[in-house]
Structure 1
Amino acid sequence: MILNKVMNIELPSIEHTISEKDCILYALGIGLGMDPMDPKQLQFVYEHDLKAFPSQSVVIAHPGAWVTRPELEINWIKLLHGEQAITQHQPLLPGSTYVGTYKVLGVVDKGEDKGSILYQEKALTDKATGDLVSTVTSSYFMRGDGGCGSSEYQPEPARPVPERAPDDVVSIPTALNSALVYRLSGDYNPIHVDPAKAASAGFDRPILHGLCSFGIATRAILHACCDNDPARLKSLGLRFSKPVYPGETIAVNLWYEDGEVRFTATAKERDIRVLDQGFATVSQT
């Protein structure tokens, strides 16, 4: 990685209109509608009084694989999605057009043989009003780019969960074809669909998209803390720790601490933690 080129990269803004179909397809991809008799799921998958699910902000106006640009000299083959967070300033609205603008926040070099971490931010604004709707931050573990040097950026410290039993657990099953549906929202990486490509990446079968797991964690927070009202979710973030396989059940462990929700998630069938250091803030009304 060439640090100064990465820090000074200019990414074009992207306009993205989210249709009702886009909103429904995203919701189906994170498993909403599996119970067709549940009105709290139906509100996200039925065009009558349709609501956009808040974590859809992660796929709106996606900047694409800019890290593959040759002039940046990033070893992108070894890139892993590390962390993801959203801050919702206003609810997403089906049929609206949003403008995504991007910047690289910083790079933290862990050492020659330890890789580096790249931090990126996307701001989504409503094209019609200019209002900021969502701020989306991501970090990427660049396993092949240690020794590149660090910028001046200081990331927020990690938020470990309390060392006690969780206050609540929400278990959400995933379908065997969930990755096949979720990819239609824009992430066509073949390791999520092609067994041969998944094997070449070290997995015994295709894995679920990390951002699909992010959406499922958001479902758990809305269910447990917001009475499934998307307008009540103000922020949510987490760290990806292990991949999820389609068909597994994601058990989200919740702690209510100091006015904030903390959480982790486990793939129940393997008893492996797949999401860590989760946090969320919600409004009471």
Structure 2
Amino acid sequence: MPIDPDKALSAEPRTTELVWHHKDVQLYHLGIGAGVPATDPRELRYTLEDRLHVLPSFATVAGGGMAMLGGLSAPGVDVDLAAVLHGAQSVTVHRPLPADGRAVQTATVPAVYDKGKAAVIVLRTEAADADGPLWTCESQVFVRGEGGFGGERGPSQRLALPERDPDAIAERRLREDQALLYRLSGDWNPLHADPEFAALAGFDRPILHGLCTYGVTLKAVVDTLLDGDVGRVRAYTTRFAGVAYPGETLRVRMWRDAPEPGRIQVSVTAAEREDAVVLGETVVEHG
């Protein structure tokens, strides 16, 4: 069997050195839609090096953005990338991320779940620099056709949306070349650029990276409800419930203090497709 849960869970942690510079942060911010309008002081915080602050979601691409793919080459994990779907993502930041940095990332597989027709691999990465811990990321990856090995099914509880109107709604128009720009931060999957490859995967055109939507959404929440202060973000989690396409408009609905104080619950839909769900069970924890 391509997945050996016992071997994956007992494997020694793997370490990788990550290095990034301010231009990597600027490119990431541009890839998730920052810089419009180009001279807006609120946008210059994302694009101009002498006042740059770093969205916590940058942790998913720091050092080239290969943390998840690196985890898929862990001992006991040998899967076909064509069968892989990114199911969920979380980032917990321990302090503000520097615009220029060097860190050591430690990767582990803390869980492998059996969903019957699919397996879910949980990949955890922790990064620290000379001053201590920076962030913890956790990805859940569905691998079709690799279930049925008799393991635990894992958690299945879903987070329902609040039964009231959102406190804020932001719309973010995606550029036609959004995926082409975002992929320069390290995710070269042709699914997001090559129409022929996208057709083989069952899509009529290339889809946007889920982690690009993830970044667009966090920026919308920070700019709308957190006074543009990225330092207030403590953690950010989502479930990838659907797809978005370049050129579409993302409708980001936000509820303060949901499901509890200090949290903002978020729903992301594609406005032009009758609000088809793109991100679900999305929560930003803040200070």
The one-letter amino acid paired with 2:86 is H
Kindly tell me: are residues 240 and 75 of structure 1, through their superposed partners in 2, closer, same or farther at Cα, counting changes over 3 Å? Answer: same
Q: TM-score, normalised by structure 1?
A: 0.91
Is the counterpart of residue 3 in structure 1 residue 5 in structure 2? yes
Kindly tell me: are residues 245 and 133 of structure 1, through their superposed partners in 2, closer, same or farther at Cα, counting changes over 3 Å? Answer: same
Q: How many residues align?
A: 278
Given candidates 88, 92, 99, the residue that maps to 1:94 is 99
Cα offsets for 1:126-181 (capped at 9, x unmatched): 1x22x111111110112211112326x95584322213332221111110001111
Mean alpha-carbon deviation: is it higher for 160-169 or for 222-231? Answer: 160-169
Q: Which residue of 1 aligns with 2:222?
A: 222
Cα offsets for 1:184-232 (capped at 9, x unmatched): 1000000111111111111111111000000011012101221111101
3-state SS of the aligned residue for 1:158? coil
Cα offsets for 1:89-139 (capped at 9, x unmatched): 11111111121111111011122xx3121111111111x22x111111110
Mean alpha-carbon deviation: is it higher for 62-71 or for 163-172? Answer: 62-71
Q: How far apart are residue 278 of structure 1 and its match?
A: 0.6
Question: How far apart, in 2, do the equivalents of 1:108 and 1:69 lie?
Answer: 16
Is the counterpart of residue 118 in structure 1 residue 121 in structure 2? yes
In the alignment, is the contact (CA less than 8 A) between 2:108 and 2:123 conserved in 1? Answer: yes
Structure 2: segments with no counterpart, 5+ residues: none
Kindly tell me: are residues 202 and 154 of structure 1, through their superposed partners in 2, closer, same or farther at Cα, counting changes over 3 Å? Answer: closer
Higher helix share: 2
Q: How does 1:35-54 map to 2 (within 5 A)?
A: 35-54=37-56
Mean alpha-carbon deviation: is it higher for 89-98 or for 7-16? Answer: 7-16
Q: Which residue of 2 aligns with 1:81?
A: 86
RMSD (Å) for aligned C-alpha atoms: 1.9
Q: How far apart are residue 59 of structure 1 and its match?
A: 1.2
Question: How far apart, in 1, do the equivalents of 2:40 and 2:158 lie?
Answer: 36
3-state SS of the aligned residue for 1:93? coil
3-state SS of the aligned residue for 2:72? helix
Q: Which residue of 2 aligns with 1:194?
A: 194
Q: TM-score, normalised by structure 2?
A: 0.91
Question: How far apart, in 2, do the equivalents of 1:89 and 1:69 lie?
Answer: 26
Give aligned-pair identity as a percent.
36
Kindly tell me: are residues 87 and 72 of structure 1, through their superposed partners in 2, closer, same or farther at Cα, counting changes over 3 Å? Answer: closer
Question: How far apart, in 2, do the equivalents of 1:193 and 1:83 lie?
Answer: 22
Which consecutive segments of 4 or more residues in structure 1 shift more than 4 A?
Answer: 68-71, 153-157
Q: How far apart are residue 88 of structure 1 and its match?
A: 1.1
In the alignment, is the contact (CA less than 8 A) between 2:8 and 2:75 conserved in 1? Answer: no
The one-letter amino acid paired with 1:101 is T
Structure 1: segments with no counterpart, 5+ residues: none
In the alignment, is the contact (CA less than 8 A) between 2:240 and 2:280 conserved in 1? Answer: yes
The one-letter amino acid paired with 1:193 is A
Question: How far apart, in 2, do the equivalents of 1:76 and 1:69 lie?
Answer: 14
In the alignment, is the contact (CA less than 8 A) between 2:44 and 2:51 conserved in 1? Answer: no
Question: How far apart, in 1, do the equivalents of 2:74 and 2:134 lie?
Answer: 29
Kindly tell me: are residues 155 and 174 of structure 1, through their superposed partners in 2, closer, same or farther at Cα, counting changes over 3 Å? Answer: same
Q: Which residue of 2 aligns with 1:211?
A: 211
